[in-house]
C-alpha cells in the first residue's frame, strides 16, 4: 500500500498541510500519514484512474473492508448502483479539472452489502506542475442523520395529517353541533311563545332552563372554535396598536352592559408586532375576565398599561375586582378549569386558555397576580414594535 501511495506522491508538492514541513517531502508524507491513520473521519486517496490508493482505519470501520481489500479497486465498485453515474461524473470532473471540489451525499456499499449513506468531500491535490496528482476524500457516515431526517419527515407528514383532521373536526363542531342547538332553542322558544299560557310556572321555568342551557352550549362551541382557530390559523405579522384594540374591546363590553358604570383607562401608544384579529381576541378574553370579576364593585375599574423590556412589551391588565387565590394562578390557564361557578360570573373555562395560546403563538405568555378581594393583574408578554414601522 505504501509503495502505491509513494508512487502517487513522489516529487509532488502536495496539500499545504503536507508542504508546510520544510524539512522535506518524507517528513510531510509521514505527518500526513499519521494524521490520516489517527483521524476519526474516513479518509482515502484516490488515484487519477479512479481507484482507491489508500484508505485509513476509520474508512475500514465504516465500510467493513480491510484496506488491502479495496486498495487498487475502482471507486465505482464500492459505490451504490444508484449513485454510480453521479460518482463517475464527479470523479471525471475532478480529475479533468472541471470540478475543484466535490461535496455530496452518496451511498457506498458496506462489505456485507448494505448501503452506507456517506457525506463525501473530495479535493484535488496538484503537483508542482499544477497538474492533478491525486484526489483526497473525506467520508463521514451519515446513516443516523439520514434516518433522523427521514423520521422528521414522517413526523411532519403525520403532523400535517393530524392538523387536517383537526380542521375537519373543528368544521364538524362548527356546523353539526350548532344546528341541533338551534332547533332546541328555537322550538323551546316557540312553545313558550305559542303555548306558554297553557303551562304553569314550573313548565315555563323548564323551558327557560332548556333555552339557557342551549345558549351556554352555544357559547362553549364558539369558544372551542376560537381556541381551535388560535391554535391552527396562520398568524399575520403586522404592527398592531394594542391601545386602540383595548379601547375597542372596552367599548364592546360597555355596549353589552350599558347600565354598568365603568372606567377603562388605556395607556396610549402600545405598539406590538403580531396578528390583529388574534390580539383583539386575547384582549377581549382578559378585559372580559376583568369586567366579569368586578361585578361586586360599584364601578368596574380596568387599567391597561405597557412597559418596554428590550424588544418585548409587557402589557398589564389590572382590575379592582374580587381577585383569585394565587394557588390557582397556573391552573386557570388550562382548559375547562373554573375558579368560579356560573352564578359568580364564571364562564366555560376556555377564555384564559385562548388568551394563553394566542400569547404563546406570539412567542410570549400570560401570567397573573392577584390578591383575593383586592383585584387581579394579568400580564402578557408580546413582541414590541416601534411606530416608525421597523421591528425592534
Partner 1 sequence: MSEKVILLVEDNPDDVELTRIAFAEAKVANQLVVVSDGAEALDFLFARGKHADRTPDDLPSIVLLDLNLPKIDGREVLQAIRADERTRSLPVVVLTTSTEPFDVEASYALGVNSYIQKPVDFKQFVWAVKQVGLYWLVLNHPREGG
Residues in the chain: 392
> Between 187 and 206, how does the x/- string for binding to partner 1 read (CB under 8 A)?
xxxx----------------
Answer yes or no whether residue 185 interacts with partner 1 by CB under 8 A.
yes
Rounded CA separation 77/50 (Å):
10
Residue 213 is a binding residue for partner 1 (CB under 8 A) = no
Residue 218 contacts partner 1 per CB under 8 A: yes
Closest residue by Cα to residue 376 from 254, 260, 294: 294
Q: Which is nearer to partner 1, 189 or 199 (CB)?
A: 189
- Under the binding rule (CB under 8 A), the answer on residue 2 touching partner 1 is no
Stretch that binds partner 1, among 177-185, 260-268, 364-372, 384-392 (CB under 8 A): 177-185
Window contacting partner 1 (CB under 8 A); options: 124-132, 166-174, 290-298, 374-382: 166-174
Max CA separation in the chain (angstroms): 116
Q: Among 43, 8, 6, 44, which Cα is nearest to 26's?
A: 6
**Closest listed residue to residue 70, CA positions, set 31, 38, 42, 95:** 42
Q: What is the CA radius of gyration of the chain?
A: 36
**94 or 188: CB nearest partner 1:** 188
Residues 63-92 that bind partner 1 (CB under 8 A): none
- Strand 262-266 versus strand 300-309 pairing type: parallel
171 binds partner 1 (CB under 8 A): yes
Residue 99 binds partner 1, judged by CB under 8 A: no
Footprint (CB under 8 A) of partner 1, residues 224-253: 225, 233
Picking from 247, 311, 309, 307, the residue whose alpha carbon sits closest to that of residue 280 is 247
Among 76, 181, 262, 329, interactor with partner 1 by CB under 8 A: 181
CA atoms within 13 A on the CB side of 305: 6
Which stretches of the chain bind partner 1, using CB under 8 A? Answer: 170-171, 174-176, 178-183, 185-190, 214-215, 218, 222, 225, 233
Amino acid at each position: 500500500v505504501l509503495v502505491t501511495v509513494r508512487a502517487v506522491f513522489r516529487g509532488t508538492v502536495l496539500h499545504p498541510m503536507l508542504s508546510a514541513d520544510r524539512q522535506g517531502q518524507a517528513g510531510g508524507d509521514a505527518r500526513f500519514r499519521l494524521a490520516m491513520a489517527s483521524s476519526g473521519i474516513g479518509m482515502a486517496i484516490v488515484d487519477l484512474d479512479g481507484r482507491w490508493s489508500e484508505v485509513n482505519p476509520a474508512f475500514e470501520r465504516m465500510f467493513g473492508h480491510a484496506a488491502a481489500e479495496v486498495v487498487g479497486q475502482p471507486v465505482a465498485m464500492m459505490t451504490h448502483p444508484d449513485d454510480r453515474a453521479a460518482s463517475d461524473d464527479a470523479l471525471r470532473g475532478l480529475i479533468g479539472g472541471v470540478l475543484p471540489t466535490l461535496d455530496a451525499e452518496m451511498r457506498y456499499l458496506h462489505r456485507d452489502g448494505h448501503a452506507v449513506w456517506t457525506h463525501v468531500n473530495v479535493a484535488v491535490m496538484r503537483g508542482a506542475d499544477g497538474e492533478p496528482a491525486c484526489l483526497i476524500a473525506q467520508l463521514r457516515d451519515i446513516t443516523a442523520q439520514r434516518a433522523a431526517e427521514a423520521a422528521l419527515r414522517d413526523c411532519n407528514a403525520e403532523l400535517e395529517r393530524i392538523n387536517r383532521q383537526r380542521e375537519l373536526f373543528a368544521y364538524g363542531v362548527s356546523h353539526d353541533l350548532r344546528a341541533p342547538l338551534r332547533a332546541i332553542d328555537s322550538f323551546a322558544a316557540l312553545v313558550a311563545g305559542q303555548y306558554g299560557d297553557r303551562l304553569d310556572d314550573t313548565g315555563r321555568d323548564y323551558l327557560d332552563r332548556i333555552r339557557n342551557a342551549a345558549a351556554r352550549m352555544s357559547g362553549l362551541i364558539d369558544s372551542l372554535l376560537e381556541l381551535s382557530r388560535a391554535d391552527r390559523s396562520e398568524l399575520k405579522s403586522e404592527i398592531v396598536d394594542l391601545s386602540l384594540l383595548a379601547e375597542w374591546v372596552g367599548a364592546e363590553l360597555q355596549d353589552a352592559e350599558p347600565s354598568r358604570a365603568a372606567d377603562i383607562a388605556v395607556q396610549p401608544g402600545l405598539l406590538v408586532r403580531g396578528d390583529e384579529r388574534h390580539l383583539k381576541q386575547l384582549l377581549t378574553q382578559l378585559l372580559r375576565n376583568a369586567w366579569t370579576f368586578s361585578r361586586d364593585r360599584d364601578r368596574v375599574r380596568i387599567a391597561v398599561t405597557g412597559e418596554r423590556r428590550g424588544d418585548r412589551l409587557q402589557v398589564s391588565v389590572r382590575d379592582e375586582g374580587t381577585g383569585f387565590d394565587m394557588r390557582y394562578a397556573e391552573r386557570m390557564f388550562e382548559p375547562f378549569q373554573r375558579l368560579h361557578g356560573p352564578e359568580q360570573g364564571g364562564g366555560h373555562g376556555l377564555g384564559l386558555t385562548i388568551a394563553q395560546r394566542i400569547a404563546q403563538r406570539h412567542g410570549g405568555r400570560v401570567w397573573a397576580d392577584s390578591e383575593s378581594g383586592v383585584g387581579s393583574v394579568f400580564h402578557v408578554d408580546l413582541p414590541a414594535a416601534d411606530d416608525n414601522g421597523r421591528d425592534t
